[in-house]
Amino acid sequence: MTAAAPDPYAAARDSAARLAAALDRASHDVAVVLGSGWAEAADGLGPPRAEVAVTEIRGFPAPTVLGHGASVRSAEVDGLGVLVFLGRVHAYEGHPLSTVVHGVRTAIAAGCRFVVLTNAAGAVNRDYRVGQAVLISDHLNLTGRSPLTGPPPGVGVRFVDLTDLYAVRLRSLLVAAVPGLAEGVYAGLPGPHFETPAEIRMMRTLGADLVGMSTVHEAIAAHHLGAEVVGISLVTNAAAGSGEGPLDHLDVVAAGQAAGKEMGRLLRTTIGCLAHA
């Protein structure tokens, strides 16, 4: 007889309890997941109340990708308790999707009503420039996978409506607060290789503005559990065939670090908008 798969929602509740004890705070309101090169932006949220290595919390492997930290901070921003994940793990690192989305599920089990997902992205839209922040309005999940695959979930519904996946009301608040902030469609691919020029042309035809290797599964998992999702991409490179020279992850990380202070201010503004949502 095949053994039953572990319950990912029970695992998230267990991790949330351990996280609360490690950070000495019973619950939080907002989760922020930082993408490649975004770690310096965390400083824009002010000094942390507490910080713990993810490896000290059962269920969290350490990220293996350059530009991703391996700790979680607790901060107080505009009256909200904020959990800041200084990095994430990806499916291309060899993890099942239940591990990839464990962070957001844990955050929601810890009380978070809002989930802010950030990433480094390539610009499919030729009007975007390196260093520009783009608010995600929708996504194309081109991974061929869903974090909801498996037995019927013990919480939520199996067939989740994704019409308002990236919450319209929160995007409206942020666009009003940040004049000139662009919105675009993010295409999520499996990675870890960069895309071919032909694939970028295909994505442009499909309506994508940005391309990356994360975010889509976390967004689906968070929305499934009732959290409101905000997605923010930092353009770190022109997509394949759109710029000059080869693509290199070191350049992606460098672009994120160069925009760290600006992205920190944007995160602070985002939390301020959530405080009044």
Active site residue 224: no
30 Ramachandran zone, left/alpha/beta (phi>0; psi -120 to 50): beta
> 12, 28, 90, 166: which is the annotated catalytic residue?
90
Active site residue 237: yes
> 93, 177, 254, 258: which is the annotated catalytic residue?
93
Active site residue 219: no
Angstrom CA distances, 55 to 15, 39, 71, 104, stand at 11, 18, 8, 16
Tell me the one-letter amino acid at 21.
Answer: A
Active site residue 186: no
> 28, 68, 102, 224: which is the annotated catalytic residue?
68
> 70, 249, 262, 277: which is the annotated catalytic residue?
249
Residues 6 or more apart whose CB falls under 8 angstroms from that of 97 comprise 91, 145, 146, 147, 149, 217
> 16, 120, 123, 219: which is the annotated catalytic residue?
120
Active site residue 93: yes
> 15, 71, 125, 214: which is the annotated catalytic residue?
214
- Give the residues across from 77 on adjacent strands: 80
Is the distance from CB of 81 to CB of 27 less than 8 angstroms?
yes
Tell me how far apart the alpha carbons of residues 39 and 119 are, in angstroms, rounded to a whole number. 11
Active site residue 249: yes
> 20, 62, 92, 177: which is the annotated catalytic residue?
92
> 123, 133, 237, 239: which is the annotated catalytic residue?
237
> 12, 15, 36, 91: which is the annotated catalytic residue?
36
Which residues are identified as catalytic?
Answer: 36, 68, 90, 92-93, 120, 213-214, 237, 249
